[in-house]
Structure 1
């Protein structure tokens, strides 16, 4: 059996460098807002699909996650506004860890 050199542990967990670099405040803001907006959009679609399947589905968990992401979006916006006053460059190191559970 060819495993392409990956061990069992490697197959169970992967790390992906999603974003890395130094960006202008404007570009960093665009990147972060795009990522958060995509995640919010994903959950909104998921909420609609579950609601269409069963109008009595409990959507509280999805609603809560959307609210959390909206709060994070506000935090990022505030951070970026403050960053404009102090620096011209923002470093982003976004690592995505994926595990099979």
Structure 2
């Protein structure tokens, strides 16, 4: 009997799951944010490369949002560190194939 292979349409990645010191949490979140910020900067650069008249407006909004989140996270982690608190973090990435 022949079995049909089913195509997977979703994927979950359990990226972060645990309790961390403020310094550990800061390192993890800042690393993720830096990668995302650089991703958007590279995308913006590739779009406007060779176009001297472009204002580089593409993706700047998302870069600004991520940089603001980075600042807020830094302040949050500093507060937790000053109070000697640990931080519970959980992050799941949900990926779906879009038609």
For the aligned pair, the TM-score class normalised by the smaller chain equals 0.7 to 0.9
**What's the CA shift for 1:63?**
0.5
SS of alignment partner, residue 60 of structure 1: coil
Query: What's the TM-score once normalised by structure 1's chain length?
Result: 0.81
Task: Name the stretch that deviates more: 81-90 or 18-27.
Answer: 81-90
- Structure 1's unaligned 5+ residue stretches are none
Runs of 4+ with deviation above 4 angstroms = 53-59
Count residues with an aligned counterpart.
Answer: 96
Distance 2:94 2:55 in 1: 29
Does the CA-based 8 Å contact 1:19-1:94 persist in structure 2?
A: yes
Structure 1 or 2, whichever has the larger Rg, is 2
Aligned alpha-carbon RMSD (Å) = 2.0
Structure 1 residue 54, shift from structure 2 partner: 4.5
